[in-house]
Chains A and B, each alone.
Chain A
Amino acid sequence: MSSERPDYLEAVVELREGADASRVERWLERHRLAPTRMVVGFLASGDASSFEHAFGIDPSAPSAPDELPVRDELREDVAKVAIVPPKRTHQ
């Protein structure tokens, strides 16, 4: 298995208190990111290109930060977007 970030990624979208979750869900879907409900908000899954289109940063790049900048239109609802670090099997 490769050690670099792969092309398909997951990110945790942490919602603010009182956030409009459905608005965030629609925004993610509009940007071709699959939203899955989590305790803290959403897990967004998708191709690196979709993340880049949505957040303006290619998260698969080696220099990419662990947290993606929250877009202005999400600021009211989203506190943080954190890329899930690589998981590996324990063989």
Chain B
Amino acid sequence: MSSNETDPTAQGETELAFLPSELESDDKPPDIVIGYVSVRSQGERSLLDAEDLSGAEPFYGSEDDHAEAARAVEGSGLTVLGESRLGKAVAGPPEAFEDLTGGTIVARERLVRTRIGRASYVTHLDIVGDGQPDDLGVGVAASEASAIEAVVLERPRAPLGIFPAPIPPSVARFHLRVLDDVATLLGAQAAHQNGDVGEGVGVAMVDSGHYRHPYFAAHRYSLGPTVALVPGTNPGRDPHGHGTGESANVFAIAPGATLRAYRASNSNGDLVAAVAGFVRAKSDNPDVLTNSWGGDGPFPPPPGPPPAADRALALEIADAVEQGIVVVFSGGNGQFAIEPQVPGVISAGGVNATAGLDLRASDYASAYESPWFPGVRVPTVCGLVGMVPRASYIMMPVPPGCPIDVQRSAAGSGDPPDGTAPDDGWALFSGTSAAAPQVAGACALILGARNGLSPAQVRQALTDTAVDVTVGRCHQRFNLPAGPGPDLATGFGLVNASAAVARARQL
């Protein structure tokens, strides 16, 4: 069942009254439909037209009718999941229900209250056709002899009480809160106090998807409709949790920006349509296009140009920059990839702020000089990233029970549990995946203050004002030290968003 939430600002009773209660649906029925068949009542009335429902006994079916109903159900290809004196819970393909009823199974979108006071159009199934009742999801058997007086399709039920809290849990481990701490350490708060919040700036993010965690609604962040790239995947789902969590970094820096997510993952959360996501996002012409993903290859690479598929993607990325889109890519967590090396891209590396606010290069983040593009160094600038073994650093909202929620709540790779529950919708993680949307948020602040700046000017505003980081080393695969001034390990240093906005006003 899919759920397409309406605008969260349009949830008042008056507004809801203007929304149609039912819409046609483009969804196909699922492969397996759950339903219920009511066996012919021994009383006078069928449950479909009975007015007195104070007792169940008049609706019990006889043994013979139960047996006949079972034959009809199984003959249609349905499986009995459970039974009572009244009827049977059944499951099977839509065609089996159509065989049983002689009707057609169709999808309809009905406006229902779902959770925390929100209303959504939720896909319901109906049985339509000659002789079928008007009631949504209700049908009658095709054959009088089947001893079945009603077929009722399962309705989507709003789960109660499993929604994650919009406020992150308190855990004992040192960590950054995605809103206050990230904004403070990246120098965004002064800009916010001046009214620079990235208002009107569109940020596109290609990732695993976006789950409408209550955190986003609580902060009234602006989210455009998600685009799902893989056919058959739900734009309202994030099966991995990565895109949901990392996107919070954009809003920490640019709370007024509008984020549009491009889901490039399949149902397992594998990023199988990343290039399609990038090309599609580019065609929608966002102001900023942020990407917390990439490939990996040998370093140094074999002599010669990059592989063919990488060359094609590099041209697409360069084309986006030439269109005037500010493109941000994460530099990688030990990976060596084409994406952050493309000239004009702002590549995001990692700086770690300790509990004592000392800054050092993150040993989790990649850093290298491009062997393919002369003069290009990865990273350009840095965001906030944790340290090895698994960069558990920033508390971010994720879909409850998603792989990140589960994995991070348990020990792994020599790192203790993050202190959250496996199904609470919060997890500690980071990587240069967090740095990229932080940097993208800073770009959105800049463009909100100085609309029309070129990607090169946005980049200059960031590099001119970044905070120099002089200690620490990058990921051991590249093992480069930070030092005074621009260096390979941290590029120009940690982004200072407010200073970058001020610098942009001078350009």
Partner-B contacts on A (CB < 8 A): 1-2, 6-12, 14, 34, 36-41, 43, 45, 66-67, 80, 82-91
Contacts and interface: CB of A to CB of B under 8 A. Distances in A.
A12 B67 CA distance: 59
Contacts of A83: 309
Given A6-B268, A87-B294, A89-B431, 6 more contacts: A6-B270, A9-B272, A12-B308, A45-B230, A89-B207, A91-B433
Interface stretch (B9-17, B30-38, B274-282): B274-282
Contact of A36 (B230, B280, B403): B280
Contacts of A90: 292-294, 330-333, 335, 431-433, 436
B31 to A, nearest CB: 16
Q: Interface size for chain B: under 10, 10 to 19, 20 to 34, or 35 or more residues?
A: 35 or more
B271 A38 contact: no
Interface of B: 207-208, 229-231, 240, 242, 245-246, 266, 268-276, 279-280, 292-297, 307-313, 315-316, 319, 330-333, 335, 391, 403-404, 429-434, 436
Contact of A43 (B272, B279, B307, B319): B279
26 contacts: A6-B272, A7-B266, A9-B272, A10-B273, A12-B309, A12-B313, A34-B231, A36-B280, A39-B312, A39-B316, A40-B315, A41-B312, A43-B275, A43-B276, A66-B309, A82-B312, A84-B274, A84-B309, A85-B295, A86-B271, A87-B294, A89-B242, A90-B294, A90-B436, A91-B429, A91-B433
A87 B312 contact: no
A87 B278 CA distance: 12
B294 A1 contact: no
Contact of A80 (B276, B294, B308, B331): B308
Contact of A8 (B266, B297, B403): B266
Contacts of B245: 91
Main secondary structure of the interface of B (DSSP, over half): mixed
A80 B432 CA distance: 33
B433 A87 contact: no
Contacts, number: 125
Contacts of A9: 272
Given A1-B268, A6-B266, A89 B312 contact: no
Given A1-B240, A80-B308, A38 B279 contact: yes
B250 to A, nearest CB: 15
Contacts of A82: 307-309, 312
B280 A1 contact: no
A53 B308 CA distance: 22
Contacts of B275: 10, 12, 43, 84, 87
Contacts of A88: 271, 293-296, 335
A10 B276 contact: yes
A67 B430 contact: no
Contacts of A67: 308
A85 B307 CA distance: 10
A80 B312 CA distance: 11
A17 to B, nearest CB: 15
B273 to A, nearest CB: 6
Contacts of A7: 266
Nearest to A37: B279
A37 to B, nearest CB: 8
A84 B295 CA distance: 9
A27 B332 CA distance: 36
Contacts of A2: 268, 270
Specify which of B280, B316, B404 lies most central, judged by the most chain A CB atoms within 10 Å of its CB: B316
Contact of B242 (A10, A14, A36, A91): A91
A40 B312 contact: yes
B404 A91 contact: yes
Given A82-B307, A84-B309, A8 B230 contact: yes
Nearest to B427: A91
- Pick the 6 closest A-B CB pairs, nearest first: A82-B308, A87-B274, A12-B312, A90-B433, A82-B309, A39-B315
Given A14-B312, A67-B308, A89 B266 contact: no
B12 to A, nearest CB: 38
B276 A45 contact: yes
A91 B208 CA distance: 12
A87 B230 CA distance: 15
A17 B280 CA distance: 24
Nearest to A11: B309
